[in-house]
């Protein structure tokens, strides 16, 4: 990402938080291609490492808007997870994008338990995991530890749905823990988790490092489901409706630019 552009006093400056995932692209492209300037504001991007940081900094006004998990504004508005300010989601930033990845060791255990289910992948692969969970319990081994990025996240719900569909109780048969997205591939490599559900590129990073295997994608669980949204405080939106409209216009142009195949390499 280029160095921040100088800001003139008469410009409207918008502080935007994001997590380094592929679906932060609309915010990045709006900034890099100058779509923000086209609508008379300056988008200042602030990289964060965890969704809890995003939540807290939006809540206290450090950020004006943020790249957020779709369930986060709902949780904030309900006062869950320590957020006190109601948050709205005036537009979606991405659909799908998550995947479930397991360690090489767990993948081999799943293959030994049910080769056909593993080859089928998606929802079927959970059946192989269920066999592994039962065998480990019968042998007195520690339950599997699976990572997800945030309690109020599609990742958490995706993983729970995938497990429960095969008869695995997410609360009792395995250990579910929260790990920030940028740390999941390293956690798998270090053996701190046996698998995880996260957005790209961290699934592919684990595969490229030789430590993980993708066994299910979000499209196999719930095609075209909501994933990331633009989150803003309800009070901020009410105070600056024109600026919010301009942000939405700029991000819409960024999305249109991203949809053009010839722009993918850039």
Write out pLDDT tens, residues 223-233.
Answer: 999 899 999 99
Going by C-alpha positions, the residue among 17, 1, 23, 72 that lies closest to residue 201 is 23
Q: Are 69 and 153 in contact (CB under 8 A)?
A: yes
Residues spanned by the domain of 246: 12-94+226-263
Write out pLDDT tens, residues 132-142.
Answer: 999 999 999 99
| Same domain assignment for residues 108 and 201 | yes
Q: Are 255 and 27 in contact (CB under 8 A)?
A: no
| Same domain assignment for residues 115 and 199 | yes
Residue 220's SS3 state is: helix
DSSP line for 30-62: HHHTTHHHHTTEEEEEEE-S-HHHHHHHHHTTS
Q: Is residue 252 part of a domain?
A: yes
Give dist(CA 114, CA 3) in Å, integer: 51
Q: Is residue 65 part of a domain?
A: yes
| Same domain assignment for residues 233 and 152 | no
Number of structural domains, the chain?
2
Q: What pLDDT is stored for residue 40 in this prediction?
A: 96
Q: Is residue 44 part of a domain?
A: yes
Write out pLDDT tens, residues 124-167.
Answer: 999 999 999 999 999 999 999 999 999 999 999 999 999 999 99
Write out pLDDT tens, residues 20-46.
Answer: 999 999 999 999 999 999 999 999 999
| Same domain assignment for residues 128 and 86 | no
Q: How many other C-beta atoms are found inside a 10 Å radius of the C-beta of residue 209?
A: 12
| Same domain assignment for residues 216 and 238 | no
**Model confidence band, residue 11 (pLDDT cutoffs 50, 70, 90):** low
């Amino acid at each position: 990402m280029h160095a921040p552009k100088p800001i003139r006093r008469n410009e409207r400056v918008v502080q935007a938080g994001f997590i380094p995932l592929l679906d932060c692209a609309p915010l990045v492209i709006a900034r890099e291609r100058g779509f923000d300037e086209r609508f008379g504001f300056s988008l200042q991007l602030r990289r964060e490492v965890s969704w809890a940081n995003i939540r807290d900094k939006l809540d206290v006004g450090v950020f004006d808007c943020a790249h957020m998990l779709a369930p986060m504004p709902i949780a904030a508005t309900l006062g869950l997870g320590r957020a006190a300010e109601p948050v709205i989601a005036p537009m979606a930033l991405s659909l799908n994008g998550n995947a479930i990845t397991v360690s090489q060791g767990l993948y081999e255990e799943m293959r030994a338990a049910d080769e056909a289910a593993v080859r089928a992948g998606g929802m079927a692969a959970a059946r192989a995991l269920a066999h592994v969970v039962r065998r480990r319990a019968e042998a007195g081994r520690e339950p599997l530890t699976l990572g997800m990025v945030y309690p109020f996240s599609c990742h958490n719900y995706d993983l729970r749905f995938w497990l429960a569909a095969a008869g695995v109780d997410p609360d009792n048969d395995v250990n579910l823990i929260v790990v920030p997205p940028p740390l999941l591939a390293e956690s798998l490599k270090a053996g701190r988790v046996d698998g995880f559900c996260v957005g790209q590129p961290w699934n592919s990073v684990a595969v490229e490092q030789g430590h993980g295997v993708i066994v299910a994608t979000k499209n196999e669980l719930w095609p075209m489901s909501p994933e990331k949204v633009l989150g803003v405080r309800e009070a901020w939106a009410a105070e600056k409706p024109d600026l919010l409209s301009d942000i939405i216009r700029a991000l819409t142009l960024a999305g249109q630019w991203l949809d053009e195949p010839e722009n993918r390499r850039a």
